[in-house]
Amino acid sequence: MTAGDDIAAMETLAIRSDQDVVRVRQLVRTLAVSVKLSLVDQTKLVTAASELARNTLVYGGGGTVAAGRVDNGRRSGIRIVFSDQGPGIPDLDLALTDGYTTGGGLGLGLSGARRLVDEFDIDTAVGQGTTISVIKWCR
């Protein structure tokens, strides 16, 4: 994400239940198709979104997602922002390590999601919450 990127209107959803995580996947799939991401890239983006939405629910205690088309003059893509006001992530490097989990998961959600997208930014503060922004660009 750079200053020159043009962001179209973002759609937002609350993430408060398992069902909302399913809705996030469906929203992201629709957007990914609309900018004509390749099938593999659609699959990668929806999978990353599923991981991050579940983290927002399980660790962030719920939150919101905003997603929409982004253009940088050369390419279009999809940007998705997950926000929660949960406990935050005390050690980001550790949380981004494959296999690290505090919740009995596989510990692949954060690290895997980062590999599956083109841009991945985390803003987190202990006691205040976590915001994760990702972009997948069309090739």
Partner 1 sequence: MERVPVLKIGDILLVSIQIDMEDQTALQLQEDLADRIVETGCHGVIIDISALDIVDSFVGRTLATIASISRVLDAETVVVGMRPAVAITLVELGLSLPGIRTALNVELGMALLARERDFEFKDIDDDEDDADEAVVAAS
Interaction site with ligand ADP (CB under 6 A): 51, 55-56, 59-60, 84, 86-89, 95, 100-103, 105-111, 130
> Apex CA 62: angle with CA 60 and CA 68, to 5°?
100
Distance CA 48, CA 118 (A): 11
Distance CA 101, CA 107 (A): 5
Task: By CB under 8 A, tell whether 123 contacts partner 1.
Answer: no
Q: Which of residues 84-103 bind partner 1 (CB under 8 A)?
A: 98
> Apex CA 12: angle with CA 11 and CA 18, to 5°?
125
Q: Which does 60 bind (CB under 5 to 8 A by kind): ligand ADP, partner 1, Mg ion, none?
A: ligand ADP
The partner residues of 133 in beta bridges, in order of sequence, read 81, 121
Q: Which residues bind partner 1 (CB under 8 A)?
A: 18-19, 21-22, 25-26, 29, 39-40, 42-44, 46-47, 50-51, 54, 98, 105-106, 108-109, 111-113, 115-116
